[in-house]
Chain A
Amino acid sequence: MAQTLLQVEDLHTQFFTRRGVVRAVDGVSLHIDAGETLGVVGESGCGKTMTALSVLRLVPDPGRITSGRILFRGRDVTKMTDDEIRDFRGNDVAMIFQDPMTSLNPVTKIGSQIEEAMTAHKRFSPQEAGVRGIQLLKRVRVPAAERRVSDYPHQFSGGMRQRAMIAMGLANEPSLLIADEPTTALDVTVQAQIIDLLKQLNRELGTAMMLITHNMALVASLCERVVVMYAGRVVEEGPVERIFKSPQHPYTWSLLRSVPRVDELRKDRLVSIKGLPPDLSNAPPGCKFHPRCPFVIDRCKREEPELAEVAPNQVARCWVLMRNVPEEAAEVTKQVVISEEAAKKLQEIPGAGS
C-alpha cells in the first residue's frame, strides 16, 4: 500500500456573494497516494478547479475554505501560517493552469519565470537555478532551450508555453503536480504531445498527479484512479477501468455516453446530458443530480444518498444503483422503491443490470 500523500477530508469551499452563499466545494473527500495519478472529472462549474485551488489555498475572493481538512503528508494545509503556505506552494505541490496563453507573465522572460520558482524556495542558488532552468526546458522537450530561456512568452507557441508551465511546475521537484485542464486550450496534436509528456514525467520522476479535466480520453490515458464530481460533491470514485467499464452513478454514465468513440460501433446515439448543472447558491434538495437524472425516483428528490461502496475500491452516491453494498447501506437500499419507469430504463443500459 502506497503512502498517502494528500488527504482531503470533508472540504467545504464557499463563495460569499451578494446573491448568497455559493457552495463551490461541498464536502469533498479524496486522497492521492505518492506517485499516483488521479483524475478529477466533471462538467464546468462542478467544483473541480476550486477543489484544486483550495489545496493550494488560492481560492479567489470572495471565496474561502469554510471547513474540512487538507492533509499533506499529515500536515493540515488549512492551518498553515502564511510563511508555511508560501513555502508549500510550488515546492510540495505545484499547479499547472488551463490557459498557457494567459498564465505566463507577458513581460518577463520564460527563463526568469522558471528560475524564480526555484529561488523563491531557496533550494537552488540563482546560478543553479539558471542552469536548471535550461535543463527543465530540455526535459519538457523545448527545442533550443539554451536560447529560448531568454525569450518572452509571446515568442512561444501555445504548446511550448504549456511545456514551459510544466517545466515551471517541476522546478522544485514537487511530490504532487496539479494539472487543471492542461490541454483544453491547445489544439489536438499538441494535446497528444502534452499528454505523452505528462505520462513520461510521472513515470520517470514519480511525481503524483491530480489531473482536472472534463476530457474522458485524457483520463483514460493518464489516470489510475478517477473521482467524478458534480455540483461541488464527489458522486463516484474508483479505479479508472471500473469507472469506464462499469460506471455506477448515472452522472458518470451520462458523461461517458457523451464522449464519441472510434474504437467501437455503437448503436446508441451520442447523448448529451440534458439541462445545466445546478446553481450552487441554490442547489436542489436531495440528490443534486436528480433534475437531470434519467432514472430519478421519488427518494432522490427528498434525501441525498451517501457515498457507498458499490464494488471493491469503487464508491458512488446514488439511491438507485447501489449493489454489493455494505449491510447498513443495503438496509437503506431495500427501502427504495424503484419506479417502474426507472426500472425499465435501467434494463436498457448495457452493463447496468448484472
Chain B
Amino acid sequence: MAVTAGRPTRGALLPSQLSAITSTRTGSLAIFIVRRILWMAPILFFVILITFTLMHLAPGSPWDKAGGRQLSDTVINNLNIRYGLNKPVTQQFVLYLWSVIHFDFGLSYQYQNKTVSGLLLESWPYTATIGVLAFLLIIPVGVGLGVLAALRQNTRIDYITMGFATVAASFPNFVIGALMVVVFGVLSYRATGGNFFLPTAGFALDDHLIMPVLTLALLPIAYTARLTRASTLEAIRQDFVRTAWAKGLPERLVVTRHVLKNSLIPVVTTLGPTFAFLVTGSVIVETVFSIPGIGRAFVVAIESRDYPMILGTTVLFSLVIAVANLVVDVAYVFIDPRVRLT
C-alpha cells in the first residue's frame, strides 16, 4: 500500500473511481497489466511493419520455382490478382493490417486453400511440447547447477559445473544439434552396426524428444547456471545473510530464505529473454531434427516467399514473447516487494 502512497499525481489525473483503484497495490497491478497489454498493439504494429518491409525488399517472388519449370506470365499475373499482389505495396500493408485486426491472417501461398491460422494451429503443439519441456528442464537444472556451484565455490564441483557452462554457452544450438546427430545417430549407427542410439528425426512423444529438447535447452541452462552462480555468490556476501547466521538459523533456512530468495530475483527477470530464445531456437531445432512445428513452417515459408505465412508466424512469435515478458514482469512484482509499479 505504502508503495503507491507516494504517487498522488497519477490518481489526480484519473476519474475518482479509478483513483480509488490505483490506491491499492492490487489495483495498480491491474492497471499495470492493462497498460502493458495495450502497449502490445504498437509493438505488433512495428513488428508487422518491419517484417512486411523486409519481406518485400528481399529479392524473389512467391512464384519462383527454384530449379523447376517457371510458371508462365499469365499464370503469375492471375496468381498476383488472386492474392492481391498487383495492388501497391502500401495498400497491401493497410489491407493486411485490417485483416489482422479481424484475426484473419490470410491464405498460405504454398498450400491450396489452407489458411495461415489453420497451418499454425496444426504445427503449434510440436513447438509448444518441445519448448515447454526445454523450459521445464532449464529452470531446475540451470538454477540447481548455479546454486550448487556457488555454495561449493572454488571446489571441484564449481569448476566442473562452470566448465560445462562455459563450453555449452559457447556452442550455437545448430552446432550442438548437428553434433548430437553425429554422435548419437551416425556414429552409434556405425558402431552398433545398424542401430541408432537415439532417433535423429521426426516427432513422437518418446525418445524422439530427447535430442531436440537438449539442443534447445543446453545454452539457456548454461546461461542460467552462470547467472544463478554469480547472483548467489553476491547474495552470500550480503550483510543480511550474516544477520541470518547470527540469529542461529540452520544452514538450510539461511540458504533458502535469505540467499536464494534474493539471488533468484535476477534469474527470474531473465526468464523472459530465455523464453524468447526458446521461440527463436525452435526455428533451428525443428529444421535440424525435421519436426513439423512452427519454427520449421517459418523456415519453409521464408524459402518459398509465402508472405502471409511469414507474417503470421512472426506475429505469433512476437505475441508469445510479449506475453512471456509480461508474465515475468508481473511475477517480479510478487517476488520483489521493492518494485514500484510505475
Contacts and interface: CB of A to CB of B under 8 A. Distances in A.
Question: Are A and B a genuine interacting pair, yes or no?
Answer: yes
Given A86-B250, A116-B257, 7 more contacts: A58-B246, A94-B247, A103-B240, A107-B265, A116-B249, A117-B249, A154-B337
Interface of A: 56, 58, 60, 86-91, 94-95, 97, 99, 102-108, 116-117, 120-121, 151-152, 154-155, 165, 168
Given A58-B245, A117-B247, A106 B240 contact: yes
Contacts of A90: 246-249
A106 B338 contact: yes
A94 B249 CA distance: 12
Contacts of B337: 106-107, 152, 154
B261 A108 contact: yes
Contacts of B262: 105-107
Q: Give the residue among A58, A95, A104, A107 with the most B Cβ atoms within 10 A.
A: A107
A91 B247 CA distance: 8
A192 B190 CA distance: 82
Contacts of B239: 97, 99, 102-103
B336 interface: yes
B335 interface: yes
Nearest to B243: A103
Interface in B253-271: 253, 257-258, 261-262, 265
A124 to B, nearest CB: 13
A108 B247 CA distance: 15
B248 A88 contact: yes
Contacts of A99: 239
B244 interface: yes
A168 B242 CA distance: 13
A152 B249 CA distance: 20
B138 to A, nearest CB: 23
A104 B245 contact: no
B238 interface: yes
Q: Give the residue among B246, B258, B262, B337 with the most A Cβ atoms within 10 A.
A: B246
Secondary structure type dominating chain B contacts: helix
10 nearest CB pairs, A to B: A90-B248, A89-B248, A102-B239, A90-B247, A117-B247, A105-B240, A152-B337, A103-B239, A95-B246, A103-B243
A58 B242 contact: yes
B38 interface: no
Q: Give the residue among B238, B245, B253, B338 with the most A Cβ atoms within 10 A.
A: B245
Contacts of B258: 105, 108
A229 to B, nearest CB: 21
A102 B238 contact: yes
B242 A105 contact: no
Contacts of B336: 107
Contact of A94 (B246, B265, B335, B338): B246
B50 interface: no
Contacts of B242: 58, 60, 97, 103
B253 A120 contact: yes
A87 B248 contact: yes
Contact of A102 (B240, B245, B246, B338): B240
A60 B336 CA distance: 28
A104 B246 contact: no
B75 interface: no
Contacts of B245: 56, 58, 89
